Amino acid sequence: MRAVPVIVFMMVTASNVFYTVNSAGLLEIGSFENKTFYREAEGFSHTYMEFVEFCHSHDLQPASISNHDEQSTVQHHFNETQFYRHLWLGIWDIGSEGQWHWVGQGQGLSSPVQADYSNWDPNHQGGGREENCAIIRNSDFLWVDVPCSFAAVPLCQSDYA
């Protein structure tokens, strides 16, 4: 995996928190253990497949959130930057309704990894055949299933040892 490009400029939030934006236009939103999370800095929305392609084009993976601490890292970004747009998660239940799997993680779309941790809105996890992809909802940070044609901001990650 190649290194993420160097910093070009910094974004300052209303609470004087600094976030770095690299030359690829990615905003680093936080790290936890062996992951660093990034979002598209301009906040442009994409469909699910465009999101996956966006992450891969930057040598990153669609974001997987494995525990409460990673969820808190992303949620902290929402609160600090007052960025209230839906973010894509690299999870879906295509081909196995109700069984959510993380995509990517070096395995591609055809070899998903079972999702053990979740932060689902109890009313929005089983949208049937029409809602097979998921976002972090901007109003309460819960996960919501949506159609894969929905438009949301890419949330990507880099893994390191």
Give the domains, in start order, of the chain with CATH numbers: 7-159 (3.10.100.10)
**Segment among 1-15, 36-50, 74-88 with least mean pLDDT:** 1-15
Judge whether 90 and 39 are in contact, CB under 8 Å.
Answer: no
What number is the average pLDDT over the span 98-106?
75
Angstrom distance (rounded) from CA 131 to CA 156:
21
Give the rounded percent of residues in the chain with a pLDDT score beyond 70: 79
**Two tokens, residue 155:** 């949330």
pTM for this model (two decimals): 0.82
Going by pLDDT thresholds of 50, 70 and 90, the confidence category of residue 12 is: very low
Angstrom distance (rounded) from CA 77 to CA 30:
7
Angstrom distance (rounded) from CA 10 to CA 12:
7
Angstrom distance (rounded) from CA 119 to CA 18:
27
Res. 101: pLDDT tops 80 = yes
Res. 19: pLDDT tops 90 = no
Per-residue pLDDT tens digits for 35-45: 999 998 888 99
**Segment among 5-14, 55-64, 106-115, 125-134 with least mean pLDDT:** 5-14
Of 17-21, 53-57, 103-107, the range with the highest mean pLDDT is: 53-57
Going by pLDDT thresholds of 50, 70 and 90, the confidence category of residue 113 is: low
Closest to 134 in 3D by CA, of 153, 148, 155: 148
What number is the average pLDDT over the span 77-87?
82
Res. 5: pLDDT tops 60 = no
